[in-house]
């Protein structure tokens, strides 16, 4: 379910969309949702409250929506008015029940005396049947069932597909509570069986006390602090990620936009989910990638298929290995590594093949990180992830049964990094700054020729000159630690990337690359901004990092944690405004790895917090292997002392806390300050 709030008052303001999470193609467009009705959109999913014979529903300019956490369970809430009745809706997905619960509270907040109201729920166009107090509708690809708890007065209209609850008496100073259920059956082949299932759920405790749902959320990782920015944005990422990856690991990389799967998007989203404590969906994503999205030759899936060798995305090997190592580190489970040994060896070795890698030690091809096709060249993002992937593979070598290859992989990673930073003619550094791309001829790729835009009003079609630099992917080596964050080359690179902030707009955010090269609309890109955010934090540029994070928390989409791919400046993406799951993963990763500073270096768990200056204390309760890692950080600044499970523990000379190899969790208290 995707819940949407429409502020334009073109129809009911608070509605939902229903998709099969295991079919990535379906969510490419809103109109392919199970409950979309031509000419009506998703109006059937809106709640209607009838007062005095008039039907009220949520209006965009008068409806307030937010994530709320009720006794540890995140829910989507909408508050609106039906005359003098304040209506509060809360929608939650119930663990173990495979259904959605919609709570409705009617408060006589501005009524002078007692009034009678009725509540109406509906199903989209289809074939309907009434079965007791259950309404079932069969439509395109699915059956939907509505039920209600506690047996209030219910009237079902099996011709129109309506459920009316009432009459209900509301009195000043009092409220009326209703609990309703929505159950989907995909494919929709058994309406009678669905009706029985809805009745059983309505009578079961799983839908009433929600203990199983509460326990599921209690198992995830949480951050608690008086710094509202950190609390809000980390929660929004944590709340949204489970709705983005199906139980079989399927993930649409761009909801309402792509309807396709990439190894890079799934890997990076799952990496964030892992750090948010959602181990099960990270495992599901890994299982799908390793069984469906990597060929036996080690090639990786791009947009749901495999491209020609000259257009492969070499970063995908490193992103997948980085996820796999993080999964092993956080969960202690190396079964995937052992089970898929031959496939993983092919994946790791593929970029080292002479057809992709030349005497410089760097990989090269015609496809760049953002998927355009240029002249044959060395792409910085590809070198970065090949280096990271080889290093992670070396750390995983014992589980891979490849200890004899570990030293060679590390040597090849070092060779590539040396070429990136210091090759005499082909280094990806110029004037002390990282650059995005250099052609195999040695010429820096900084001009785009003969590449058309997608609409007549975009920079590639309205302007004659187009630059490639700067590019947000230049931040990736710094974010990953492949290039030291406090180094001079990192600082100069990040200074260059400031040219991407507010380039042709004034409300914040970084573009993905020089805006003159945009084949689509100018505007900031949230997930490109997260690359730069992570690098800024690693470089200790906390003022810039804070500004980036504040923008991500408040921009369109960020207010709900459903970050859009881009924020257009000149046209509305009214047909396809894509939600990129990867951004949620980046935000969750930032919160744990960069802000809390909890990360693995090799096989060692290291704590190196980097709170914002002047930060209040922070508590984190992180899922760790079969237990918990409970962290208390007493403010910002360098670490001064550490207590691990009641024992004072010595810090390393660089001020970090290194945990022993056998550390299995517990409570860590860190004292910081100048």
Helix, strand, coil share (%) of the chain residues, nearest 5:
35, 25, 40
Q: What is the pLDDT, as a whole number, of residue 568?
A: 85
Structure tokens at 138: 């069969």
Residue 556 pLDDT class (50, 70, 90 cuts) = confident
How far apart, in whole angstroms, are the C-alpha atoms of residue 143 and residue 467? 52
485-490 average pLDDT score: 98
pLDDT tens-digit map of 156-172: 999 999 999 999 999 99
First-residue to last-residue Cα distance in the chain: 48
Structure confidence by residue, pLDDT tens digits, 98-146: 899 999 999 999 999 999 999 999 999 999 999 989 999 999 899 999 9
319, pLDDT greater than 70: yes
CATH annotation of 2-217:
2.60.40.1170
Look at 46-55, 67-76, 185-194, 272-281 and tell me which has the smallest mean pLDDT: 185-194
Check: CB of residue 589 under 8 Å from CB of residue 275.
yes
**Gap between the Cα atoms of 215 and 221, Å rounded:** 12
Closest to 476 in 3D by CA, of 362, 380, 588:
380
What is residue 495's three-state secondary structure? helix
Residue 674 has pLDDT above 80, yes or no: no
The structure tokens 């007065």 sit at: 153
Average pLDDT on 219-230 reads 98
- Find out whether 243 and 1 touch, Cβ atoms under 8 Å: yes
Nearest alpha carbon to residue 223 among 585, 558, 538, 591: 591
Q: Class of 221-309+321-359+398-403+446-594 per CATH?
A: mainly alpha
What is the average pLDDT across 260-286? 98
Mean pLDDT (the chain) is: 95
Task: Give the span between the Cα atoms of 155 and 172, in whole angstroms.
Answer: 26
Alpha carbons 111 and 614: distance in angstroms, whole number: 47
187 burial (CB, 10 Å; 0-12 / 13-18 / 19+) is exposed
Residue 308 CA to residue 141 CA, distance in Å, equals: 35
Pairing mode of beta strands 618-624, 222-225: antiparallel
Instruction: Please tell me the predicted confidence (pLDDT) of residue 570.
Output: 80
DSSP-assigned letter for residue 500: G
Tens of pLDDT, residue by residue over 331-354, are 999 999 999 999 999 999 999 999
Compute the distance between CA of residue 386 and CA of residue 365 in angstroms, rounded to an integer: 14
Distance CA 320, CA 9 (A): 43
The answer to whether residue 673 scores a pLDDT higher than 60 is yes
467 or 662: which leads in pLDDT: 467
3-state secondary structure (DSSP) of residue 466: coil
Contact 601/639 with Cβ under 8 angstroms? no
Architecture of the domain whose range is 599-672: Sandwich (2.60)
Residue with tokens 């501005």: 110
DSSP string, 557-597: TTTTT--BS---SSS---S---EEHHHHHHHHHIIIIIIS-
Tell me the three state secondary structure of residue 176: strand
Given the structure tokens 């929004």, which residue do they identify?
A: 236
For the stretch 605-657, pLDDT in tens is: 999 999 999 999 999 999 999 999 999 999 999 999 999 999 999 999 999 99
pLDDT at 576 > cutoff 80: no
Of residues 318, 304, 311, 298, the one with CA closest to residue 261: 304
* pLDDT of residue 9 exceeding 80: no
Domain range annotation of the chain: 2-217, 221-309+321-359+398-403+446-594, 599-672
**Whether the predicted pLDDT of 487 surpasses 80:** yes
Q: Name the pLDDT band for 575 (thresholds 50, 70, 90).
A: low
Q: Do 67 and 75 touch, CB atoms closer than 8 A?
A: yes
């Amino acid at each position: 379910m995707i819940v949407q709030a429409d502020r334009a008052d073109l129809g009911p303001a608070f509605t939902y969309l229903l998709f099969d999470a295991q079919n990535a193609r379906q969510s490419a467009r809103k109109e392919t949702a199970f409950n979309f009705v031509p000419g009506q959109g998703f109006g059937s999913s809106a709640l209607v409250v009838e007062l005095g014979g008039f039907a009220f529903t949520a209006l965009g300019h008068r409806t307030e929506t937010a994530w709320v956490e009720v006794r540890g369970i995140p829910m989507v809430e909408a508050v609106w008015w039906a005359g003098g009745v304040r209506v509060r809706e809360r929608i939650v997905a119930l663990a173990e029940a495979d259904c959605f619960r919609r709570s409705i509270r009617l408060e006589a907040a501005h009524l002078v005396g007692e009034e009678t109201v009725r509540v109406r729920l509906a199903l989209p166009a289809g074939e309907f049947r009434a079965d007791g107090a259950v309404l079932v509708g069969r439509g395109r690809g699915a059956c939907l069932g509505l039920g209600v708890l506690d047996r209030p007065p219910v009237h079902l209209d099996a011709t129109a597909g309506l459920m009316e609850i009432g009459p209900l008496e509301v009195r000043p100073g009092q409220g009326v509570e209703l609990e309703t259920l929505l159950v989907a059956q995909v494919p929709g082949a058994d309406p009678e069986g669905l009706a029985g299932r809805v009745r059983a759920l309505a009578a079961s405790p799983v839908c009433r006390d929600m203990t199983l749902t509460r326990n599921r959320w209690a198992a995830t990782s949480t951050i608690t602090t008086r710094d509202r920015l950190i609390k809000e944005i980390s929660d929004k990422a944590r709340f949204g990620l489970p709705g983005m990856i199906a139980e079989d690991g399927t993930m649409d990389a761009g909801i309402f936009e792509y309807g396709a799967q990439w190894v890079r998007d799934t890997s990076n989203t799952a990496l964030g989910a892992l750090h948010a404590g959602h181990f099960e969906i990270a495992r599901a994503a890994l299982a799908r990638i390793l069984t469906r999205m990597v060929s036996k030759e080690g090639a990786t899936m791009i947009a749901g298929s495999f491209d020609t060798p000259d257009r492969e995305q070499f970063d995908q090997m490193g992103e997948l290995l980085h996820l796999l190592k993080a999964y092993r580190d956080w969960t202690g489970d190396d079964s995937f590594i052992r089970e898929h040994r031959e496939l993983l060896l092919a994946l790791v070795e593929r970029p080292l093949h002479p057809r992709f890698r030349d005497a410089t030690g760097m990989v090269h091809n015609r496809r760049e990180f953002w998927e355009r096709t240029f002249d044959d060249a060395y792409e910085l993002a590809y070198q970065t992830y090949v280096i990271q992937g080889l290093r992670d593979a070396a750390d995983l070598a014992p589980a891979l049964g490849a200890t004899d290859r570990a030293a060679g992989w590390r040597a090849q990673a070092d060779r590539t990094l040396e070429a990136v930073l210091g090759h005499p003619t082909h280094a990806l550094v110029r004037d002390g700054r990282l650059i995005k791309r250099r052609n195999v001829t040695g010429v820096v790729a900084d001009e785009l020729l003969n590449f058309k835009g997608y609409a007549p009003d975009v920079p590639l079609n309205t302007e004659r000159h187009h630059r490639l630099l700067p590019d947000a992917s230049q931040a990736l080596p710094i974010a990953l630690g492949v290039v030291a964050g406090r180094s001079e080359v990192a600082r100069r690179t990040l200074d260059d990337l400031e040219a991407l902030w507010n380039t042709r707009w004034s409300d914040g955010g970084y573009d993905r690359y020089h805006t003159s090269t945009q084949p689509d609309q100018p505007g900031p890109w949230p997930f490109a901004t997260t690359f730069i955010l992570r690098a800024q934090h690693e470089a200790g540029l906390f003022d810039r990092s804070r500004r980036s994070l504040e923008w991500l928390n408040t921009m369109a989409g960020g207010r709900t944690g459903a970050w859009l791919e881009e924020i257009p400046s000149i046209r509305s993406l009214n047909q396809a405004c894509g939600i990129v799951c990867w951004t949620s993963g980046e935000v969750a990763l930032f919160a744990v790895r960069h802000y809390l500073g909890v990360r693995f270096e090799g096989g060692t768990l290291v704590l190196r917090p980097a709170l914002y200056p002047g930060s209040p204390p922070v508590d984190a309760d992180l899922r760790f292997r079969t237990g918990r890692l409970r962290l208390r950080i007493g403010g910002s600044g360098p670490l001064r002392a550490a207590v691990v499970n009641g024992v004072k523990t010595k810090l390393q000379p660089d001020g970090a806390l290194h945990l022993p190899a056998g550390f299995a969790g517990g409570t860590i208290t860190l004292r910081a300050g100048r």
